[in-house]
Amino acid sequence: MLEMRSARLAVLLLAVLFAGPWLFDDFELSVLTLVFLFASVGMAWNLMMGYAGQLSLGHALHFGAGAYAMGLMITKLGVSAWFGLPLAFAVGALFGALVGALGFHFAVRGVYFALLTIAFAELARILVEHWAFAGGNGGLFLPALTPDNQPLVSLRGDAGFFYHALLITLAAIWLACALLVRSRIGYYWRAVREDEDAARAIGVPATRVKVLAVALSAGFTGVCGAWYALIQGSLFPDSVLGMRMSIDLIIAPIVGGLGTLFGPILGAIVIQSLNELSKDLAQEFSISGLKLIVYGAVLLAIVLFAPHGIWPPLARWLRIGGRK
Amino acid sequence: MNDRRLSSTRRTLLKAGALMPAFGFPGLVRAQTGTLKVGVILPLTGVLAFPGQQTRQGAELAVKMMKDQGINIEATYVDTESKAETGRVAAERLIRDGNTVLIGAWDSGATISAAQAAEAAKVPLIVNVASAPQITEQGFTMVFRNFTSAGQLVTSAVQRIKELPRSASFAPKTAVLTHTSDTFGQAMLGGVKALWDKLGMDIKIIDVISYDVRARDLSVEIAKAKALNPDLMCPITRVNDAILIVREMVKQDFNPMAIVGPGSPGPYEKAFTDALGKFADDYITCVPWYDPSRATAKAVLQRWAKEYPGDRLELNSGFGWEGIQVAADAFKRAGSTKPADLHAALRSTKIEEHLMFGGPIQFDEKGQNNNIGGAMLQIVKGEPVLVGPSSIAQAQPKLPMTKWKARA
Amino acid sequence: MLEFYSNVIVGGLLLGAVYALLATGLNVIFGVMRMVNFAHGEMVVVGMYVGYGLWAWTGVPALAAAPIAALLLFGMGYLFQRFVANRFVEAPQHMQFILYIAIALIITGLHAVFFGPDPRGIQSAASFEVYQLGMIRFDAVRTQAAVASLLLVAALWAWFRFSLTGKAIEAAAENRVGGQAIGIRIPHLFALTAGLGFACAGAAGALVAPMFDVQPYLGGEFTLVAFIIVIVGGLASLPGALVGGLLIGLAEALAATVVAPSMKSLFSYGLLVLVILLRPQGLFGKVEG
């Protein structure tokens, strides 16, 4: 009953949002597009944090891998961008599986696992910074859009196009996560999360299942990275593979709510709004660093007063169920 | 049951509606035909803040001087924080706020990302300072670059270096090149690789050392260079790393015959000469510069001395000034603030009387101004002095450079 | 060539000594209390600003600024631990991470707001000084910083080894319940520990200020270097922090020389990965029970 209600709500929201380009101006559309992007990555990251139970502070690795996969494909091979999406998924998932397999095989936990993910992301960043083929530190630039550009072929268009594209991506990832969680894999994940030893005892292939969680999380993140490349039109290793990006990617799901499906979306909305607000204030008064103070303050407030995020109390207030 | 379902849905929609204003900070699009709204994108904070601020001052001065000539310009400045990817966001913000022509972005990476936004919105972008070839080779139709490309910078630099008087104590045969690994540095390296030998340089580059522009410690890089014992040190730098390079050279007592930068910002800036004092002298760099013999230059210098007495008019402020001049000129001829009209006017720009050394300001079909001249400067007693080409030189270059330990 | 390599090695070791001080501070917080202090680097930056600020306003050299920075950060660390972080000692590690990341972001932002985001360097005659010993050049500023760091690290070791409070802290860290049972005031001790850890970071920052231009965004790098050293050297092992610091300083210098200066962290991160996977207790640490 409760799930039906939240599903119907989601569909309604989706329909309303689809009308976006006729309701908002270009700037608002691009802000919302970023909201959808970060919400999607947030949900993907949540998969790993919530179900493999491991904190990844190096998710920029998968994001950047997907972004560069798409970027290189377009600039070097000149193939349609459509092929870039599955490639980005595959590349992201590959790195995810690598990190997961190494980590779980060597029983790396907690802080150490987080540091491992950071190390891999930093290694990738340094290597790409020196990879002349990918433009190195100087950056990779997608060619300018020609006047006869077909958005459905090149997957690049105006603000309205990207808005719809990311909305569909968000819905697709949301659906995928929801289905996975309710599937047998989802049951295994929950069993492993509750008590790994007991799960193993009843025959759950715990390590393989955890690696799957990490790989899927990374794959979805890679696809989002690919979209980021298409939207930005240019890629720089220290922005797309850097520690700052890793932190940006996880703020939304933490603020919204770990282990929930709506949490990352809510978190992304909150964070992007604060982002825009602080940017405006910063320009107005010529202060830089305001955004960081706001992010830090919000995270601090969350960790002190609402460690499970904003969504659970909000959901209770709205009387919608479906926490997991 | 039904009531509850409806009310919770309605409540959510209301809440979603309440969030809408959070996104809408609508810019006021004022349709004033008398005033041109120009959006200027520059690095005003971060690693590139110093030259960015100088560029801004040049632009602000130009806005005042244009106003005296009856052309009303309203310039808005947005900071890229010295990060390449914020160029696009800055451009989008300015366009949304009603600016119909953009100027920017000083740094090659930020300029390209701003160009993408300008291209998408069909708003012309005048490039004040940025040399990467991609800016005019990517197929952008909205870009007008009033600065040299990396290739042009290197070509004129090589020309100036060839013209340096050789003597018994100054006959360089070898050189070590250092460069930053960002878009600018890589573009310059590409230019040097392609053109150095082709232009008949008799000096051999024995090694190329690259480093991150954000590096805080260049001791290893300079040690490497010193170990090779080159006659010339050729750094392609920004301000902060130029300071670090000279400081390390002093500490390690590395005395080449001369330090000659083939086209980079840094050494002529006040931050450099202030930080290094007597150690800044004798550093040579080959960059575009203002032509002191021009009437415009005399007028600008006079006004500059009044408005910014402590500062120095140099490459950044000069091109910052010219960027506004180009926009104002197009505005005057187009008679409208619409981007399309300005774009057409920019295409047919031909400004004879302007500030920087070189022929008239004109843009070819790719948006590049090919008439910008390259000068050579040497720091003398803490001030940049023109030492080449002979048509505008104010002094003869001091070669070889004074050894560090011999400096008073 | 010999001159080149020996100077590079000396430079790396001198910097490594300062890294050792930095790592000792983290070791005290992370190694002993198991608090994932991801804001350690930001504390170093605070120390750097103290060093820079004192020089800018009073011309005082970095060596004199170090104790002041240490004192200031001791106070900050004590108060922070006592009133905020102590609540998180038993919390899941990802919560601790987020707490410290939040603090790091706030401090970085405050630095940017108050000091501006531009790099600020101490430009004094001392920055050009060099001690010459044969063909080895000892950069004056680096040498002074290294000596001061080693003295501070030694002093801290001695204190932990021989003082009653120091031993109490080690005991309390190893066995919290037992410690409380025999009357050790845990909250106060932990706050003291955090204060010491932050003080090390602050002192390291003030010492490093004349070497590197200070800007608000250096924190992340220092934090990561500190974690790498602590893990490679071994948790809660003071000799580990020293050896680790020197090792990483040396490794970075050699990597810069042999490969490329901008790739110098490659080796450190690679080492981190290997240690995490194959020998998580580090060089000198004890295997976790």
* pLDDT above 90 as % of chain B: 55
Q: Among residues 276-305 of chain A, which lie with CB inside 8 Å of chain C?
A: 287-297, 299-300, 302-304
Range A157-161 average pLDDT = 84
pLDDT confidence bin for B19, thresholds 50/70/90: very low
Q: What is the pLDDT of residue B29?
A: 38
In a domain, C6, yes or no: no
- Tell me if B386 sits within 8 A of B289, measured CB to CB: yes
Q: Looking at the structure, do residues B231 and B316 belong to the same domain, yes or no? A: no
Chains in contact with B, where contact requires at least 3 CB pairs less than 8 Å apart: A, C
pLDDT at residue A324 in the model? 43
One-letter-per-residue 3-state SS of chain C = CHHHHHHHHHHHHHHHHHHHHHHHHHHHHHHHHCCCCCCHHHHHHHHHHHHHHHHHHHCCCHHHHHHHHHHHHHHHHHHHHHHCHHHHCCCCHHHHHHHHHHHHHHHHHHHHHHHCCCCECCCCHHHHCEEEECCEEEEHHHHHHHHHHHHHHHHHHHHHHHCHHHHHHHHHHHCHHHHHHCCCCHHHHHHHHHHHHHHHHHHHHHHHCCCCCECHHHHHHHHHHHHHHHHHHCCCCHHHHHHHHHHHHHHHHHHHHHCCHHHHHHHHHHHHHHHHHHCCCCCCCCCCC
pLDDT at B342: 94
Query: Any bridge partners for residue B73, and if so which?
Result: B36
pLDDT at B9: 41
Task: Tell how strand B383-388 and strand B375-380 pair up.
Answer: antiparallel
Q: What range does the domain containing A206 cover? A: 2-140+151-318
C-alpha pair distances (Å), B92 with each of A289, B7, B117 = 21, 39, 6
Q: Is B253 left (phi over 0), alpha (psi -120 to 50) or beta?
A: left
Residue B59 lies inside a defined structural domain of this protein: yes
Query: Does A49 map to a domain?
Result: yes
B258, B274: one domain: yes
> Quick one: pLDDT at residue C288?
54
Q: Which of A300, A302, A305 to mutate to test the interface with C (most CBs of C within 10 A)?
A: A300
Is B252 touching C (CB cutoff 8 A)?
yes
Q: What pLDDT score was predicted for residue B28?
A: 36
Is B30 within a domain? no
Confidence label for A48 from pLDDT (cuts 50, 70 and 90): confident
- CATH number of the domain enclosing B324: 3.40.50.2300
Examine residue C212 and state whether it is found in any structural domain, yes or no: yes
Based on C-alpha coordinates, what's the Rg of chain C? Answer: 19
pLDDT single digits (tens) C68-108: 999 999 999 999 998 988 888 888 877 888 899 999 999 99
Interface test with B, best of C13, C52, C118 (most B CBs within 10 A): C118
Among A258-262, B317-321, B385-389, which stretch is predicted with the lowest mean pLDDT?
A: A258-262
Same domain for B247 and B132, yes or no, is no
Q: Is residue C262 part of a domain?
A: no
Inter-chain contact B220–C262, Cβ cutoff 8 Å? no
- How confident is the model at residue C167, as a pLDDT? 80
* Residue A247 contacts C, CB cutoff 8 Å: yes
CATH number for the domain that contains residue A26: 1.10.3470
State the pLDDT at residue A268. Answer: 92
Is B215 in CB contact (< 8 Å) with chain C?
yes
Express each pLDDT in A118-149 by its tens digit: 999 999 999 999 898 988 888 898 887 777 77
Residues B122 and B157 in one domain: no
C226 belongs to a structural domain: no
Which residue in chain A is spatially nearest to B118 when comparing CA positions? A144
Q: Nearest to residue C127, comparing CAs of C61, C65, C48?
A: C61
Contacts of C40 (CB under 8 A, 6+ apart): C22, C25, C26, C29, C197, C201, C222, C223, C226, C227
Q: What is the mean pLDDT of residues A254-268?
A: 85
Tally of domains in chain A? 1
In a domain, B275, yes or no: yes
Nearest CB to C119 within list B217, B221, B240: B240
Is B247 found in the same domain as B166?
yes
Distance CA(B110)–CA(B130), nearest Å, equals: 9
Confirm or reject contact between C147 and chain A (CB < 8 A). no
- Chain C, residues 7-36, CB within 8 A of chain A, namely 30, 36
What parts of chain C have a pLDDT lower than 70? 125, 173-184, 287-289
Q: Is residue B239 over pLDDT 90?
A: no
Q: Is the CB of A136 less than 8 angstroms away from the CB of B22?
A: no
- Rounded to an integer, what distance in angstroms lies between the CA atom of residue C89 and that of residue C186? 11
Domain that holds residue C152: 14-218
Q: What average pLDDT does chain A have?
A: 86
pLDDT of residue B3: 38
Is A267 domain-assigned? yes
Q: Is C178 domain-assigned?
A: yes
Contact B45 C116 (CB under 8 A): yes
Would you call A3 an interface residue with chain B, using a CB distance cutoff of 8 Å?
no
The three-point CA angle B298-B299-B301 to 5° equals 65
What is the domain range of residue B247?
151-287+375-406
Alpha helices in A48-155 (DSSP H): 60-72, 84-105, 110-129, 151-154
Does residue B266 lie within any of the structural domains?
yes
Average pLDDT over residues B320-335: 94
- State the smallest CA–CA distance between residue C124 and chain B in angstroms: 9
Predicted ipTM beyond 0.85: yes
**Are B390 and B250 members of one domain?**
yes
Does one domain contain both B142 and B160?
A: no
Answer yes or no: do B283 and B394 share one domain.
yes
pLDDT at residue B201, rounded to an integer: 86
Residues of C in contact with A53 (CB under 8 A): none
What's the mean pLDDT in B156-172?
A: 89
In a domain, residue B265? The reply is yes
Q: B215 vs C262: CB contact, 8 Å cut-off?
A: yes
Q: Residue A324 falls within a domain, yes or no?
A: no
Residues B260 and B299 in one domain: no
Put simply, the answer to whether A296 touches C109 (Cβ < 8 Å) is: yes
Q: Higher confidence at residue C90 or residue A268?
A: A268
**CA-to-CA dists, residue A93 to A74, A240, B182, B188, angstroms:** 20, 17, 30, 37
Check C106 against A290: CB less than 8 A apart: no
B178/B268 same-domain check:
yes
Domain count of the fold of chain B: 2
Question: Does A80 score more than 60 pLDDT?
Answer: yes
Across the A:B interface, residue pairs with CB atoms under 8 Å apart total 111
Question: Could you tell me if residue A9 is inside a domain?
Answer: yes
Q: Report yes or no on C125 lying in a domain.
A: yes
- Per the domain annotation, does C251 fall within a domain? no
- 8 Å CB contact of A280 and B185: no
Cβ contact A111–C263 (<8 Å): no
- Mind telling me how many Å the CA of B133 is from chain A's nearest CA? 12
Same-domain check for residues B135 and B251: no
In a domain, C45, yes or no: yes
Rg (C-alpha) for chain B, rounded Å, is 24
pLDDT at A274 over 60: yes
Q: Does A146 map to a domain?
A: no
Residue B154 pLDDT greater than 70, yes or no: yes
Kindly give, in sequence order, each residue whose CB lies less than 8 Å from that of residue A197, ignoring residues fewer than 6 positions away.
Answer: none
- Cβ contacts of B224 on chain C, cutoff 8 Å: 4, 257
Give a yes or no: residue A63 inside a domain.
yes
**Among B24, B44, B213, beta carbon nearest to A28:** B24
In whole angstroms, how far apart are CA C52 and each of B216, B277, C121, C139?
A: 15, 20, 8, 19
Residue pLDDT, tens place only, B87-145: 888 898 899 889 999 999 998 889 998 998 898 889 999 999 998 888 898 889 999 99
pLDDT of residue B15 exceeding 50 = no
- The closest CB to that of B120, out of A31, A158, A283, belongs to A158
What local confidence, expressed as pLDDT, does residue C182 receive? 65
Residues B167, B68: one domain? no
